[in-house]
Amino acid sequence: DADVTQTPRNRITKTGKRIMLECSQTKGHDRMYWYRQDPGLGLRLIYYSFDVKDINKGEISDGYSVSRQAQAKFSLSLESAIPNQTALYFCATSGRQGLETQYFGPGTRLLVL
Amino acid sequence: DAKTTQPPSMDCAEGRAANLPCNHSTISGNEYVYWYRQIHSQGPQYIIHGLKNNETNEMASLIITEDRKSSTLILPHATLRDTAVYYCIVRVGRDNYGQNFVFGPGTRLSVLP
């Protein structure tokens, strides 16, 4: 969905490096999410934010941090990347009202060597 | 933990209806059933959701049993482009702080020519 963009789309990094994944949305949604997906598995929630001042840990937040710079931007950081953080990362957004259908970005494929 | 159970894989002939089952025997009265799909490694795409009545949109139909313990997603005329992993998710629909979508492993649907 072009309304949710992620950069970079692919990234290779080395163990111990700091890396930031960025997400931007033009849907005007308050809520944003970061998920990771490992091969053959479903998505697991890392962090979520219900507005700029509200950030919450998800199921697997260890080793990650986030920043909600604005309503439209939500960044995920790996302070010191490790190989088991190699995965596909998705950002998603949803509105505050109604049934909160989530809209996903195209994903970032991260390889940690 | 995902509150749903789905078969890991299914095949369907092109042009036929694809019927994807989902069990959610512990569903609560205020929880909705959502369906998403993920084509290859793209971001998950919303398909349809429902509470207790059957629902239909341009993509699919959702049939929920009277006791709400199971449901079926129907793709009426499957095409090769419908080959994807389909996720069935149950959660409270309205603004509900802290409850998020839980994506299990889903059903891998293969549409065969």
pLDDT at B96 over 70: no
pLDDT, mean of residues A84-91: 96
pLDDT, mean of residues A76-82: 96
B57 touches chain A (CB under 8 A): no
Pick from B69, B45, B66, B67: nearest CA to B57: B45
pLDDT at B7 over 60: yes
pLDDT at A74 over 90: yes
Contact at CB, A99 and B100, closer than 8 angstroms: no
Residues on chain A touching B36 (C-beta within 8 angstroms): 102
Of B31 and B7, the structure prediction assigns the larger pLDDT to B7
Q: In this complex, which of A1, A97, A102 lies closest to B95 when CB atoms are compared? A: A97
pLDDT, mean of residues B92-110: 74
Pick from A85, A101, A95: nearest CA to A12: A85
A61-70, B17-26, B88-97: least confident range:
B88-97
Average pLDDT value over all residues in chain B: 90
Give the phi and the psi of residue A32 in degrees, each rounded to 5.
-135, 150
Q: How confident is the model at residue A43 (pLDDT cuts 50, 70, 90)?
A: confident
Give exposure, B28-43, as e/b (b: 16+ Cβ within 10 Å). Answer: eeebbbbbbbbeeebb
Residues on chain A touching B44 (C-beta within 8 angstroms): 43, 90, 92, 102, 104
Computed on alpha carbons and rounded to an integer, the radius of gyration of chain A in Å comes to: 13
C-alpha to C-alpha distance for A21 and A85, rounded to whole angstroms: 13
- Within chain A, where are the H helices? none
State the sign of the Cα–Cα–Cα–Cα dihedral A85, A91, A96, A97: negative
CB pairs < 8 Å spanning A and B: 58
State the sign of the Cα–Cα–Cα–Cα dihedral A106, A109, B1, B3: positive
Q: What pLDDT sits at residue A47?
A: 93
Beta strand B107-112 with B9-13: parallel, antiparallel or unpaired?
A: parallel
3-state helix, strand, coil in chain B (%, to 5): 5, 45, 50
C-alpha to C-alpha distance for B31 and B28, rounded to whole angstroms: 5
